[in-house]
Amino acid sequence: MADRPIIFVLNGPNLNMLGTREPEIYGHDTLDDIAGRLEDRALELGVQIDMRQSNHEGHLVDWIQEAGATGARAILLNAGAFTHTSIAIHDAIKGVNVPVIEVHLSNPHRREAFRHISYVGQAAKGTIAGFGAASYMLALDAAAGF
């Protein structure tokens, strides 16, 4: 397993509540459900994932920097609400030489106006949004090709 390239999958605030928090928006899958499917797909793609979640902005910054320091192939980042507020996460992404794919379960552009601005997206290589849990799978497929 150690010989397979690693892709960090980082999840921000409230994503630990998936499956119960506003399922009409975010679906019924839990983060563990998504992690299981990502692990299976990663094996097929010849990569490994390191999936983490925190409600704390500084943890996400630390993990982005860790991904850079350890030579990760890519980062899939669902920063949750920090997407729209965190210049610190934006700067962390800009400070590492690792491609970041911004991931969202819902389509932020079809939601409240404050969700239309993404500091993460301004620094990321690309964004995949609006496909529910499949957004993560699409992002993993893209990241495995880097």
List CB contacts of 50: < 8 A, sequence separation 6 or more.
Answer: 6, 7, 8, 9, 72
Which of 90, 104, 119, 136 is catalytic? The answer is 104
How would residue 2 be classed by pLDDT, with cut points 50, 70 and 90?
Answer: low
pLDDT for 145 beyond 60: yes
In the three-class reduction of DSSP (H, G, I as helix; E, B as strand; rest coil), residue 124 is classed as coil
pLDDT digits over 83-132, tens only?
999 999 999 999 999 999 999 998 776 666 766 788 999 999 999 999 99
Q: What is the distance between the alpha carbons of residues 31 and 46, in angstroms, rounded to a whole number?
A: 22
pLDDT digits over 25-61, tens only?
676 899 999 999 999 999 999 999 999 999 999 999 9
Catalytic residue at 119?
no
List CB contacts of 101: < 8 A, sequence separation 6 or more.
Answer: 74, 75, 76, 77, 124, 125, 126, 127, 128, 139, 142, 143
Which of 26, 90, 119, 136 is catalytic? The answer is 26
Backbone torsions φ then ψ of 11, nearest 5 degrees: -130, 135
Average pLDDT over residues 133-140: 97
Q: Which two tokens stand for residue 105?
A: 């379960």
Catalytic residue at 109?
no
Domains identified in the chain and CATH numbers: 6-144 (3.40.50.9100)
The strand pairing partners of 128, in sequence order, are 103
Q: What is the distance between the alpha carbons of residues 119 and 33, in angstroms, rounded to a whole number?
A: 27
* Cβ proximity of 33 and 92 under 8 Å: no
Question: Which pLDDT score, from 0 to 100, does residue 21 have?
Answer: 76
Question: Which pLDDT score, from 0 to 100, does residue 126 have?
Answer: 96
How would residue 23 be classed by pLDDT, with cut points 50, 70 and 90?
Answer: low
Question: Which pLDDT score, from 0 to 100, does residue 5 have?
Answer: 97
Question: Which pLDDT score, from 0 to 100, does residue 110 have?
Answer: 65
Question: Which pLDDT score, from 0 to 100, does residue 115 have?
Answer: 67
